[in-house]
Amino acid sequence: MPEGDTVWQAARRLHDALAGQVLTRSDFRVPKYATVDLTGRTVLGTTPRGKHLLTRFEGGLTLHTHLRMEGAWKVYGSAERWKGGPAHQIRAILGTVDRTAVGYRLQVLEFLRTGEEERAVGHLGPDLLGPDWNPDRALANLLADPARPLGEALLDQRNLAGIGNIYKSELCFLIGATPWLPVGALPADRAAILPGLARRLLEANRDRPVRRTTGLRDHDLFVYGRAPRPCLRCQTPILVADQGDGSRERPTYWCPACQTGPAPGPGSRRVRETRPRPSN
């Protein structure tokens, strides 16, 4: 699952390349939209909404895309070689005289009337990088199901939009709670700072090529991807286990000494990493 800052950067690349330009090429390689031709239309812009991308065109039409785990939008110059993947992975092409945006492995691609975008994104909670950000509402959403594990609540885009698996693990470390702690058991002072801390992390990284949460020169992340290396604070080995509802389990990292709360239950699949993973 991509992080909100990754999607924000993708939206900015698309907007900078296409906004205000007339399309000279459009190609949508999904059966439902294979005959759609936007050639001659002006691109009004691209905006992110949580992890969703909304590209708007004149005439009141919006292209809604979502990267999911493996999708990507790449922008190329007119004479540049496309290097985002093999041709069979291309799902969308939007070209102008000077630039071409190519969508690879897009798991969601649909057209909406611009006035009906809420059908696609209206379920989302406050956007951590958006104009609708509301920390009080985000906190209320998180606490609405007090028995839910903190990590799962943070990943639920209906609570607040933009957190992926990396920020989930890092945020839990920074507030000193395991991702399996029921969100209602989080001390009130730590719960109160959680939405603001999440926003600051994403804002700090939205313009960076390398994501950093530590403020340390030699280490980008505190726990994510670092099992079984020692914790940067206490030297206890970082642990990793799957967290989720069974159908969407994700590797989750934590320090058993720095973070208080329950560990994974007996039914959870423990993962032991024998080789360090990249921290970014």
Report the catalytic residues: 2-3, 51, 250
Cα angle 165, 170, 171; round to 5: 100
- In eight-state DSSP terms, residue 244 is S
- Return the residue matching tokens 């039914």: 267
Domains of the chain: 4-121 (3.20.190.10), 135-271 (1.10.8.50)
d(CA 235, CA 70): 33
- Return the residue matching tokens 């991509």: 2
| Token pair of 268 as six digits | 């959870």
**Coil, helix or strand for 198?**
helix
Quick one: pLDDT band at residue 279, thresholds 50, 70, 90?
Answer: very low
| Token pair of 116 as six digits | 């009906």
Output the pTM of the full model.
0.91
d(CA 250, CA 64): 25
Please determine, for residue 60, whether its predicted confidence score (pLDDT) is greater than 80. yes
d(CA 23, CA 39): 5
Candidates 49, 40, 35; CA nearest to 4 is: 49
Segment 69-123, tens digit of pLDDT: 899 999 999 889 999 999 999 999 999 999 999 999 999 999 999 999 999 999 9
